[in-house]
Amino acid sequence: MSTQIKSHFIETEVLQDERDSLIDFTPQIKDYSVSPEGEKFPLPVPEEYEKEFKRIEKLVNQARIEGKEIVVVMGVGFVGAVMAAIIADTKNENGNYSKFVIGCQRPSIRSYWKIPLLNRGQSPVKSEDKEVDEIIKRCVLETKTLVATYTNDCLKLADVVVVDIQCDYIKCELGNVRSGEADMAALESSMKTIGENIRPDCLVLIETTVAPGTTEFVALPLLKKAFYKRGIDSTPLLAHSYERVMPGKDYVASVRDFWRVCAGCNNEAKEKVEKFLKEVINTGDHPLTVMDRPIESETAKIIENSYRATILAFLNEWSLFSERNGVDVIKVINAIKMRPTHSNIIFPGPGIGGYCLPKDGGLGYWAYKHILGFEDGDDVFKITPTSIDVNDTRALHVAELTRDALRNMDRYIAGAEVLICGASYRQDVGDTRYSGSEIVVRKLTEMGAEMRVHDPYVDHWYEMESQDTYPASGQSWKRFFRNQDGLTELKMKNEFPAAVKGIEALIFAVPHDQYFTLEPEAIVEMAGGPIAVIDCFGILPDEKIRRYFELGCEVKALGRGHIQRIKKEVRESKLQKQTSKISTVSQVYKR
């Protein structure tokens, strides 16, 4: 009987949910995992594990007969679900499918639903990239090279284990990443389970973004300890290769047709990970970089994301400068980008969110002390943590702009109906983790606004609906603001016209395609009159800004100081029209 089931029968199992909110899981009480579409799936009970393992084992035996390599992907989230499908879609030089992939997802209340969805050939992640749905459906229902399960016993069958679970960085203050810490629990427990179950010759490939040093100084010792307890004297084969996936329009291609970095803890692991990635990723067009040590691969990831976060934080100060000095920083950025050496200068939206950019620099700063043993982190790291602090608090300024725009219309933020367009952390994907929009909504709510939200990619804003337990109890950003309890009732508005009806302010927060097509006349008509419009991402071209002013609206935008000139031009032309109208009328009366 597997360790997992054993622990069930010996004692009431305390199942760690996603983000460490402990639940007391006793067999007779049915718990459900609910998908974003609202479908309820009862969590598996101990009696089901053995039967589930036999189901998987039978599929694996058949796959082995067909000469397929057995790959287990731990965690079928935004990374694992797509990575599993891409591996399952791999063909060998003869054009035959060469991998059988088992997506092994922990049966937590928050995420268990991903397993039945995957086994139906449905993607657990929503994205603009149609290939995500296609590749998952094809591999589950047609090639039958992809299956999902909840039993860790599948690890016993693996030739390769790819670890795509999360490693959180828990912040204790908004705007001070240095006081946070890495949450290693999920990863450490997963490595322990892997060590207890895998065959000695199984390659373990960590793709998770980890605190540098984790692979060699945390994961490898855990695997070695588990091997020792099992009487295995060979060295575990452990490697690291970080994910560069960009969920959005090119989701699949950003994994399969993209450059990769990797490293092995020893030579055999290095050879195995190189061979595996060359089979699965298109390394012919996107050469693989093999580093000497995993800490170099881990550090490359942290630097890469910290670099991007720093560019965005750097532009925050010039965005504020521009607003106050008549500069359109977006036009300035586009001018600078013309020179190739500056092609990746980018405009910061209302917050630099997503699961990674807000976290990864913190993992590096934390690891320097808590894994690698240095005490001078605050002397060494001047930029990386500060960039995250700037990015984490940029959205507060959007609340100020909304307040000021309403004030210019002789209205107050308190009691105002405000619609935010976009809850996701970036365009074209339904992922609300650490979205700038969340800070905007929380700050405006604190100031008394009545918030509404629309996002074509998001069904549930769990950060609001489940704020007392999401991302874990006590870890919601609500703790940094007052007046937040009502946000559990903030539901996604699916119909845009209904979302706009009667509002006093509209915030364009996320550059989803459909927001670019909205016409000022239509917005003002749907709203029932002139409103305050706040553009967080350069979504409004100058002619639309002008039109909103002509319709009596107030417009403010992040980084766009030239708006004052447009406002002045519209006011002057209105004055001119009025003056000429008066003079025309007086002409008539004179005759």
Ligand X SMILES: NC(=O)C1=CN([C@@H]2O[C@H](COP(=O)(O)OP(=O)(O)OC[C@H]3O[C@@H](n4cnc5c(N)ncnc54)[C@H](O)[C@@H]3O)[C@@H](O)[C@H]2O)C=CC1
Ligand Y SMILES: CC(=O)N[C@@H]1[C@@H](OP(=O)(O)OP(=O)(O)OC[C@H]2O[C@@H](n3ccc(=O)[nH]c3=O)[C@H](O)[C@@H]2O)O[C@H](C(=O)O)[C@@H](O)[C@@H]1O
The contact mask relative to ligand X for 12-51 (x = CB under 6 A, - = no) is ------x---------------------------------
Which residue, 106 or 272, is less far from ligand X as judged by CB? 106
DSSP string, 476-542: SGGGGSSS-GGGGG--B--SHHHHHTT-SEEEE-S--HHHHT--HHHHHHHHTS--EEEESSS-S-H
Residue 305 interacts, among ligand X, ligand Y, none and using kind-specific CB cut-offs from 5 to 8 Å, with ligand Y
Residue holding tokens 């089979």? 279
| 3-class state of residue 14 by DSSP | strand
Q: Which residues of 379-400 are buried (b: 16+ CB within 10 A; e: fewer)?
A: eebeebbbbbbbbbbbbbbbbe
Evaluate the omega torsion of the peptide bond into residue 36 and state whether it is cis, within 30 degrees of 0: no
Query: How far is residue 378 CA from its own chain's centroid?
Result: 28
Select the residue whose beta carbon is closest to ligand X and give its number: 77
DSSP for 135-158 reads HHHIIIIIS--EEEE--GGGGGG-
Record the tokens describing residue 142, joined without a space: 């047609």
Positions 190 through 229 that interact with ligand X (CB under 6 A): 190, 208-209
Which residues bind to ligand Y, rule: CB under 6 A? 209, 243-247, 304-305, 308, 312, 346-349, 352-357, 425-426, 436
Cα–Cα distances in angstroms (integers) from residue 171 to residues 45, 311, 378, 480, in the given order: 34, 21, 17, 11
Q: Report if residue 276 touches ligand X, rule: CB under 6 A.
A: no
| Residue whose beta carbon is closest to ligand Y | 356
Least distance between ligand X and beta carbon 81 (Å): 8
Q: What, of ligand X, ligand Y, none, does residue 349 touch, CB below 5 to 8 Å by kind?
A: ligand Y
- Give me the half-sphere count of Cα atoms (radius 13 Å) on the Cβ side of residue 124: 27
Based on CB atoms, which residue is closest to ligand Y, 347 or 457? 347
Nearest residue to 110 (alpha-carbon basis) of 392, 466, 357: 466
* x/- letters, 78..117, toward ligand X (CB under 6 A): xxx-----------------------xxx-x--x--x---
Residue closer to ligand X, measured from CB, 123 or 402: 123
What is the SS3 assignment for 187-250? HHHHHHHHHHHCCCCCEEEECCCCCCCHHHHHHHHHHHHHHHHCCCCCCCEEEECCCCCCCCCC
- Residue number, 53 or 549, with CB nearest to ligand X: 53
Residue ranges of alpha helices (H) inside 243-356 are: 253-256, 267-280, 294-324, 329-337
For ligand X, which residue of 180, 247, 353, 430 counts as binding (CB under 6 A)?
A: 247
**Using rule CB under 6 A, residue 165 touches ligand X:** yes
Cα R_g (the chain), whole angstroms: 27
| Ranges within 427-486 binding ligand X (CB under 6 A) | none
**Nearest-approach distance from CB 351 to ligand Y, in angstroms:** 6
Cα separation of 508 and 521, whole Å? 16
112 binds, among ligand Y, ligand X, none (CB under 5 to 8 A by kind): none
- Give the nearer residue to ligand Y in terms of CB position, either 25 or 355: 355
Minimum Å gap between C-beta 392 and ligand Y is: 11
Task: Please identify, among the stretches 139-147, 185-193, 400-408, 532-540, the one whose residues bind ligand X according to the rule CB under 6 A.
Answer: 185-193
Is the Cβ–Cβ distance between 203 and 273 less than 8 Å? yes
Residue placing its CB nearer to ligand X in the complex, 196 or 243: 243
Q: Which partner from the list ligand Y, ligand X, none does 186 bind, CB cut-off 5 to 8 Å by kind? A: ligand X
- Give residue 263's identity as a one-letter amino acid code: A
Report the residue number, 305 or 402, with the smaller CB distance to ligand Y: 305
- Residue 192 or 244 with smaller CB distance to ligand Y: 244
Angstrom CA distances, 466 to 3, 456, 460, stand at: 32, 20, 10
CB of 201 to ligand X, least distance (A): 22
Check residue 559 for interaction with ligand X (CB under 6 A). no
Taking the complex as a whole, how short is the minimal distance between the CB of residue 80 and ligand X, in angstroms?
6
Which span (38-46, 49-57, 158-166, 533-541) binds ligand X, by CB under 6 A? 158-166
H/E run at residue 3: helix 3-10
Nearer CB in complex with ligand X: 155/405:
155
Token pair of 103 as six digits: 């997506």
Q: For the CB of residue 323, give the shortest distance to ligand Y in the complex, in Å.
A: 16
Provide the minimum distance between the beta carbon of 190 and ligand X in the complex, in angstroms, as a whole number: 4
- Binding residues for ligand X (CB under 6 A): 18, 74-80, 104-106, 108, 111, 114, 164-167, 186, 189-190, 208-209, 243, 245, 247, 355-356
